[in-house]
């Protein structure tokens, strides 16, 4: 069986732990199987994910998205109170 490896860059606004958790939840919810899921080599900020099928890799690259920074920040760091 041929495998397919993709590189997924990690956004600066998400920690590695949170990023791995979000990817794992996406994969598990959709029952997409991977052979490996690891930090990218050569100092690249992101992950290398090897899928057991081309279909799984295509589905992931076409459907997975990171949340935008504002979706994670809420009111933190705005200097405004939640009621303002």
Provide φ and ψ at 48, rounded to 5°. -110, 125
**Segments of the chain assigned E as strands:** 4-9, 34-39, 46-51
CA–chain centroid gap for 77, Å, is 24
Separation CA 51–CA 38 (nearest Å):
12
Instruction: Assign 3 to helix, strand or coil.
Output: coil
Listed by start position, the domains of the chain span 4-67
Q: Is the pTM of this model over 0.75?
A: no
Q: What is the pLDDT of residues 15-71, one digit of tens each?
A: 999 999 999 999 999 999 899 999 998 888 999 999 998 999 999 999 998 877 765
């Amino acid at each position: 069986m041929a495998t397919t490896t993709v590189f997924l860059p990690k956004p600066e606004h998400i920690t590695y732990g949170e990023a791995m958790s979000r990817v794992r939840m996406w994969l598990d919810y959709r029952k997409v199987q991977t052979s490996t899921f690891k930090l990218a080599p050569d100092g690249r900020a992101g992950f290398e994910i090897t899928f057991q099928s081309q279909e799984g890799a295509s589905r992931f690259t076409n459907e997975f998205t990171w949340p935008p920074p504002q979706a994670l920040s809420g009111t933190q760091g705005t200097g405004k109170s939640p009621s303002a």
